[in-house]
Structure 1
């Protein structure tokens, strides 16, 4: 039996980073796919703590909120730094990634047609912050000298942005190298090449 179960819609969405993390860590998981019709019936929604998916199960532990799941997986699989100081920095970087993710989500679901050009024009300011962190750390990771759950989160957000704007990383050599290196980690590469990954749209409304 797979140790983890994800209950979510048939999209990459909020589960993108956790799937990549689990694949890279050699973990198996089960997917329970929820159609919009089933979701609209309301029974599952009513059972969710915050009325939202994804739902993540680790044995008897049931979690909601995607970043909570990332932190849980980080603790379980040694992806939370070497000490409390690194853990705090990893939290900070993941919160920074979340800020960028929320801006992306707002564009995709609320203002894609009218706001895409402006968003891409202003994206460099957001990416420059992560480029500076990578340049300062010099290890190829956001914090310390080994991969953390925040790296998976940043990687997945950058993959999405490369679909939105294929040239968005051309002025950011550290981020571009980071994405290339992450993409070539053997287990991540196998997952990104899999039908399970390719068949899922990035977002639920067809925008990307």
Structure 2
């Protein structure tokens, strides 16, 4: 759900959250039918009950003009967002490993960020010389990349030391008013899994 919170916050959308606190609440949702595949998150918007994080993110990106201006830009945004989602999933899964495996798993995440993911985004920013990843316009991919950077920095604060363009990107995106507000204490942002 955290990536959905990020996207809504970036779009400047106020939203209410309802947390499942008991097994009975979850079972009622399953019985009543809105959980298409029997799992959360569930987002109610525009008269629809949406499940599946990727589908929800795609809908929100399109609705709030955080997608591309044409199919070519949109597919690049989706590729970049999917890459960062892969990295974020590694962080999330590592956090739930048994204690004896957790440290090694988190170290592998940092290594992959430095050798596989961040070099790609540094090159993208260098090759086109623009402020944002696609079309020189703030998009869902920029939001996802900032979220991924911050997740990996929780594991290793120096992870961006070899990526000057990503450092500048992080600062630039973090200072967009809606993002800046979301990064402040007291926002609906949730801490990383742990």
TM-score category by the smaller chain? Answer: 0.7 to 0.9
> Residue in 2 aligned with 1:43?
28
Q: Deviations over 1:132-187 (max 9, x none)?
A: 11211221211111011121111111111111111111111111111111111122
Aligned pair partner of 1:155 in 146, 152, 170: 146
Unpaired runs of at least 5, structure 2: none
> Residue in 2 aligned with 1:107?
94
Unpaired runs of at least 5, structure 1: 1-14
Residues 1:127 and 1:53: Cα distance change in structure 2 (over 3 Å): same
Q: 2:84, 2:30 → 1: CA distance?
A: 27
How far does residue 122 in structure 1 lie from its aligned partner after superposition? Answer: 3.5
> Residue in 2 aligned with 1:9?
none
Residues 1:191 and 1:172: Cα distance change in structure 2 (over 3 Å): same
Q: 1:74, 1:147 → 2: CA distance?
A: 11
Q: 1:117, 1:97 → 2: CA distance?
A: 17
Q: TM-score, normalised by structure 2?
A: 0.86
> Residue in 2 aligned with 1:141?
132
Q: Which moved more, 1:110-119 or 1:186-195?
A: 110-119
Q: 1:177, 1:83 → 2: CA distance?
A: 27
Q: Helix, strand or coil: the match of 1:63?
A: strand
> Residue in 1 aligned with 2:169?
178
The size of the alignment, in residue pairs, is 188
Q: Helix, strand or coil: the match of 1:33?
A: coil
> Residue in 1 aligned with 2:192?
202
Aligned pair partner of 1:58 in 42, 45, 50: 45
Aligned pair partner of 1:77 in 44, 64, 77: 64
Residues 1:94 and 1:118: Cα distance change in structure 2 (over 3 Å): closer
Q: Helix, strand or coil: the match of 2:17?
A: strand
> Residue in 1 aligned with 2:77?
90
